[in-house]
Structure 1
Amino acid sequence: MIKLIASDMDGTLLDSKMGISKDNVSAIKEAERLGIEFMVATGRAYAEAKPALEEAGIECAMITLNGAKVFDKAGNSLFTAGIEKETANDILDILEANDIYFEVSTNKGIYSEKQEKRIENFASHIATTMPHLTYKVAIAMAAAHLSLLDITYIEDMRSLIQQDDIEVLKIIGFSMEGPKVLAPASVKIRELADLVVTSSAQNNIEVNHKNAQKGIAVAHVAKDRGISEKEVMTIGDNFNDVSMLQWADVSFAMGNAELEVKDHAKYITSTNLENGVGEAILRAIRENL
C-alpha cells in the first residue's frame, strides 16, 4: 500500500483555471483519511504554489523549484540545493546571447528584469495549453494571474545575485519560439558543471543544481519518513517530473503528458482537465497499487 503521494501542479493537479478541482480535492482527502500523505512537487516557488493549495483547503509538504527548496507542512525549510553564483552568471550569459527572457528564483523571492516579457510568455503558455482561447484573452488571463504572484522587477540581475544574502535556486528561460530557440541554449547550459536542465512546457527551460531534482527531493522526504520507493506514488506530465516518475514504484503520467514522459511512468491517467490526479489516487487505493 502506498504511504506517500507526490504530485506535480501545472498540467497535472491544476485545471484550466489554475485551480484544483473538487474531484481532485475529494480524492486527496480520501487518501489522507486512509493515512496516506499527499504533497506537491512543483517547479513553482513556494509563494506561487501556495495560493491554489490554500484555496482548495489542502495543507501539505511542498517540493518547490523542482527540488531546490523543500518545505514541511508548516512551511519550514527542510532542504536547499542552489546554483553557484559564478555558474548563475554563465547561465544568464547564454540566455541573453540567445535572446531568451529569464527569471531567477532565489531564497528572497522571484526576480525579473522585464514585466512585459513575463506577461507575453505566460500568455503564450496559456494559449498553448488552452487553444480554444484567443491570444487577447490569454494575455488578460496572464496579467490577472501574474498580478497575484509575488515577483520583484529589477534593473540589474547580475548585481542582485552577487549579494551575499542571495541564494540562486532556479533560473527559468522562456521563448515563444519554443525548442527552436531553447534547445541550442540548453545544450550550452548542460556543458556547465553541476547543473540539470529540464522543462515544464514547450516554451521554457528550467535550470537547477544537479541535486535539485524532484526525484531526489521525493526520495529525501520519503527517507525522512521511513518510507521506501515501493510505498511512494508520483504523478506528473512533463520532463521536470521524469526523475520522480522513474524513482517511485507507483508512477502515473497524465493523459496530457508529453509522449516521452509517458514512457517513464508505469500507469497513465486522464488529463488535468479530467481530474486525472483524483482518478489516479482512487485507482491506487482501489487496486492497492
Structure 2
Amino acid sequence: MIKLIASDMDGTLLNNQMQVPTANVAAIQKAQAQGIEFIAATGRGMSHARISLDESDIRVPMILLNGAHVVNADRETIFTIPIGKQRTLDVMDTLEEAGLYYEIFTAEQVYSANQPMRIDFVAEHLLSKIPGISKKRAIAASSQHLSLTPITFVDDIRQTLIASDEDVLKIIAFDKNGPAQLKGIAGELEKIGDLAIAASESTNIEINHVNAQKGIALKQFAEERGFTASQVMALGDNFNDVSMLTYAGTSFAMGNAAAAVKKIANNITDTNEQNGVATAIARILSE
C-alpha cells in the first residue's frame, strides 16, 4: 500500500502556466484524506517553489534544489547538502570559461549577475511550452515572472558569496544550443569530482553535490517515517527525477516526459497539461 507520494513540480505537478491544476489539488487532498503523505520534489529553491504551492493552498514538505535542501510542511529546514566552497569556485570557473550563463542557489537566495540574460532564458522557456505565444508576449511574461520570483542580481557573484559566507546548494547553467553544448561542459564538470549533474530542461544543466539527489533525499525522508521503497510512489518528467523514479516502488513518468525517463518509470500517466498527477493518484487509490 502506498504511504507516501513524491511529485516533481515543473512539467509534472504544474501545468505550462506554472500553476497547480485544480484536479491535481483535489487528488492530493483525497490522498491525504486517506492517510497518504505528499511531498513536492523540485529543482527549485524555497522562494520559487512556494509561489506555485501557496497559490493553490498546498502546504506540504518539500525536497528542494534536487535534494540539497529538505524542509517540513512548516518550511523549517530538515537538512542541507552544500556543494562545498572550493568545488563551487571550480564549477564557476568551468562555466565562465565556456561562456555560459548561470545562477547560484543557497538556502535563502538565488544569485544572478545578468538580468537581461535571465529574462531571455525564461522567455525562451515560455515559447517552447505555450503554443502560439509571441516573442514579445513571452518577454513581457518573463519580466512579470521576474517581479514575482525572488532573485538577487549582483555585479560579482564570487565577492557576494565570500561576503555572505553562504553555502551554495545548487548551480544551474543555461545554453540555447542545448545538449550539443552542454554535454561537453558536463564532461568537464565531472572531472571536478563529487558532483551530481542532471537537467530539468534540454537547455540547462543542474549541478549539486553528489549526495544531493531527489532519490537520496526521498529515501531518507521515507525511512524516517518508517516507510519502505515499496510504499513510495514518485512522479516526474525529466532527468533530475530519475533517482527518485528509480528508488520508488511505484513510479510514473508523465506523458510529456523525456523518452529515456519513460523507460525508467514502471508506469506512464497523462501529460502535465492533462492533469497527469491526478490521473496517477486516482489510479493508485482505486487499486
Normalised by the shorter chain, which TM-score bucket?
over 0.9
Residue 111 of structure 2: SS of its match in structure 1? strand
Name the residue aligned to 1:180.
Answer: 180
Q: Which amino acid aligns with 1:24?
A: N
Name the residue aligned to 1:118.
Answer: 118
Residue 148 of structure 2: SS of its match in structure 1? coil
Moved over 3 A (4+): none
Matches within 5 A, 1:76-91: 76-91=76-91
Q: What is the CA distance between 1:163 and its match in structure 2?
A: 3.8
Indicate yes or no: 2:266 matched with 1:266: yes
Name the residue aligned to 1:60.
Answer: 60
Name the residue aligned to 1:93.
Answer: 93
Name the residue aligned to 2:41.
Answer: 41
Hey, what's the Cα distance between the residues in 2 that align with 1:155 and 1:175? Answer: 21
Hey, what's the Cα distance between the residues in 1 that align with 2:152 and 2:130? Answer: 28
5+ residue gaps in structure 1? none
Name the residue aligned to 2:107.
Answer: 107
Name the residue aligned to 1:196.
Answer: 196
Hey, what's the Cα distance between the residues in 2 that align with 1:84 and 1:58? Answer: 32
Matches within 5 A, 1:243-262: 243-262=243-262
Task: Summarize deviations over 1:17-72 as a string: whole Å, max 9, x none.
Answer: 11000101110010000000111000000110001111111110000000000000
Hey, what's the Cα distance between the residues in 2 that align with 1:124 and 1:203? Answer: 10
Task: Summarize deviations over 1:180-210 as a string: whole Å, max 9, x none.
Answer: 2211111100111110100000111000000
Q: What is the CA distance between 1:108 and its match in structure 2?
A: 3.3
CA contact (8 A) 1:160 1:166 kept: no
Q: What is the CA distance between 1:276 and its match in structure 2?
A: 0.3
Residue 49 of structure 2: SS of its match in structure 1? helix
Hey, what's the Cα distance between the residues in 1 that align with 2:190 and 2:133? Answer: 35
Q: What is the CA distance between 1:129 and its match in structure 2?
A: 2.0
Indicate yes or no: 2:154 matched with 1:158: no
Hey, what's the Cα distance between the residues in 2 that align with 1:108 and 1:27? Answer: 30
CA RMSD in angstroms, aligned pairs only: 1.0
Q: What is the CA distance between 1:131 and its match in structure 2?
A: 3.7
Q: What is the CA distance between 1:164 and its match in structure 2?
A: 6.1
Name the residue aligned to 1:14.
Answer: 14
Name the residue aligned to 1:233.
Answer: 233
Task: Summarize deviations over 1:147-174 as a string: whole Å, max 9, x none.
Answer: 1011111111111223463100000001
Hey, what's the Cα distance between the residues in 2 that align with 1:87 and 1:164? Answer: 17
CA contact (8 A) 2:46 2:108 kept: no
Q: Which moves more between the two structures, 83-92 or 231-240? A: 83-92
Hey, what's the Cα distance between the residues in 2 that align with 1:135 and 1:238? Answer: 25
After TM superposition, the score normalised by the length of structure 1 is 0.97
CA contact (8 A) 2:46 2:107 kept: no
Name the residue aligned to 2:205.
Answer: 205
5+ residue gaps in structure 2? none
Hey, what's the Cα distance between the residues in 2 that align with 1:275 and 1:198? Answer: 25
Q: Which amino acid aligns with 2:258?
A: E
Q: Which amino acid aligns with 1:44?
A: R
Q: Which amino acid aligns with 1:100?
A: L
